[in-house]
């Protein structure tokens, strides 16, 4: 079989490469980073997401159970108010990204090497190459704004501050809905690593970091590093599996939750779908549509949220008036009876593709 090219050695790129190698293809992966786990996202880092590990592992034919840590506490902080989501219903887990041995990136990289995938690092995609790339090349570099521009894809820029520290606590997450940012700040812990990120569609500076530290009670002060990138959240019609002569994978394809910006599940499942598009594009289109079917609803819901979010003090007063316990009870009832109208790409209680049992397309 001819050699197939994947551009991007993130989660979706490596899952796609692994799947194609298992089918007997010679696969080459290119990436502009210096090595595995050193891509556009902050690293090392810890990310929290809702994921059905059994269904996702079946779909990918990979046992992910040792990589994800169940979240046992995840308060939402709105000023002086604290809300506790119904964790027993949400399948929240944390996972490490980056170049350390226990990370999800290194796990996939080793699996790719064992399957015979070859890698070329420090090999970024440049504009002059677009016309010469083979048809069917899989593009999986979804946090890089330069790639969106090269492909004339709409995107939203994000800016943030992050820091890491050592911790003895496992399964702790915290979400801060505070002043000065359009999105939020969060803490996630996994494998002796604590990761904090404050991100927004506008630049984040020292003032926002100070507000975060004061309102969350974080014991750390300073030590922030800056980060920025792109996300496919510019339009409710963003998701697309095919673009020009190429196959898009993971975040670049729009396999991302537009409300909370969850991207781990979409990257994993989207990589498998991108590989499927090589041999069975019709089936790949069906599964891609299932994976991203909540995107437009979530995109419009986020527009309403931004109206509330614009004034954190008003949001805090609403919570005070209704009462945190009453709001928590409402969400508990809602999650038991319904699925979230804007669902995360992938498998999980908040996922688009269902939970438990053998997923569509699973082995």
Asked which of 48-57, 225-234, 235-244, 351-360 is least confident by mean pLDDT, the reply is 351-360
Contact between 85 and 327 under an 8 Å Cβ cutoff? The reply is no
**Region 292-315: what's the mean pLDDT?**
89
Asked whether the beta carbons of 232 and 253 are under 8 A apart, the reply is: yes
Question: Does position 20 have pLDDT exceeding 60, yes or no?
Answer: yes
241 versus 351: which is more confidently predicted?
241
Is pLDDT above 90 for 146? Answer: yes
State the CATH class of domain 3-305. Answer: alpha beta
Paired strand residues for 176 = 77, 185
What are the residue ranges spanned by the domains of the chain? Answer: 3-305
For residues 292-306, give the mean pLDDT.
93
Residue 1 confidence class, pLDDT cut points 50, 70, 90:
low
pTM: 0.94
E strands of 201-336, at which residues? 225-231, 242-243, 246-248
Coil, strand, or helix at residue 360? coil
* Proportion of the chain above pLDDT 70, given as a percent: 95
Per residue in 186-235, pLDDT tens?
A: 999 999 999 999 999 999 999 999 999 999 999 889 999 999 999 999 99
Residue 339: predicted pLDDT:
62
pLDDT > 90? residue 286: yes
Residue 361 pLDDT exceeds 90: no
Cα–Cα dist 14/97, whole Å: 13
Give the DSSP H/E element, type plus range, for residue 157: strand 156-166
Which letter, b or e, does each residue of 288-310 get, where b requires 16 or more Cβ atoms within 10 Å of its Cβ? bebbbebbbbbbebbeeeeeebe
Q: Tell me, what DSSP letter sits at residue 284? A: H
DSSP-assigned letters across all residues of 46-110: EEEEE--HHHHHHHHT---TTTEEE--B--EEETTEEE---GGGT-EEEEEESSSTTSHHHHHHH
Separation of alpha carbons 303 and 259, rounded Å: 9
Return the pLDDT at 318: 85
């Amino acid at each position: 079989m001819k050699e197939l090219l994947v551009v991007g050695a993130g989660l979706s790129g490596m899952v796609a490469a692994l799947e194609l190698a298992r089918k007997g293809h010679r696969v080459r992966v290119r990436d502009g980073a210096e090595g595995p786990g050193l891509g556009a996202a902050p690293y090392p880092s810890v990310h929290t997401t809702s994921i059905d590990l059994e269904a996702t592992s079946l779909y990918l034919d990979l046992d992910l159970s040792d990589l994800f840590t169940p979240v046992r506490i995840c308060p939402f902080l709105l000023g002086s108010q604290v809300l506790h989501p119904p964790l027993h219903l949400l399948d929240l887990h944390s996972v490490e990204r980056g170049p350390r041995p226990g990370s999800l990136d290194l796990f996939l990289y080793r699996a790719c090497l064992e399957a015979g995938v070859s890698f070329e690092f420090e090999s970024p995609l440049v504009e002059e190459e677009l016309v010469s790339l083979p048809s069917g090349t899989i593009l999986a570099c979804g946090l890089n704004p330069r790639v969106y521009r090269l492909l004339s894809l709409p995107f939203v820029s994000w800016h943030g501050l992050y820091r890491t520290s050592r911790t003895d606590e496992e399964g702790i997450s915290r979400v801060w809905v505070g002043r000065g940012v359009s999105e939020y700040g969060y803490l996630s812990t996994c494998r002796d690593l604590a990761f904090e990120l404050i991100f927004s569609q506008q630049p984040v500076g020292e003032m926002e970091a100070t507000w975060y530290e004061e309102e969350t009670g974080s014991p750390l002060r300073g030590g922030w590093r800056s980060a920025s990138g792109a996300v496919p959240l510019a339009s409710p019609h963003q998701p697309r599996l095919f673009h020009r002569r190429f196959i898009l994978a993971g975040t670049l394809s729009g396999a991302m939750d537009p409300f909370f910006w969850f991207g781990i599940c979409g990257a994993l499942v989207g990589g498998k779908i991108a590989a499927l598009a090589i041999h069975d594009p019709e089936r790949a289109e069906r599964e891609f549509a299932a994976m991203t079917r909540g995107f437009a609803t979530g995109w419009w819901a986020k527009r309403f949220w931004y109206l509330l979010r614009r004034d954190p003090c008003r949001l805090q007063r609403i919570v005070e008036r209704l009462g945190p316990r009453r709001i928590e009870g409402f969400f508990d009832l809602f999650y038991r009876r319904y699925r979230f109208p804007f669902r995360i790409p992938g498998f999980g209680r908040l996922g688009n593709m269902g939970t438990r049992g053998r997923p569509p397309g699973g082995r």
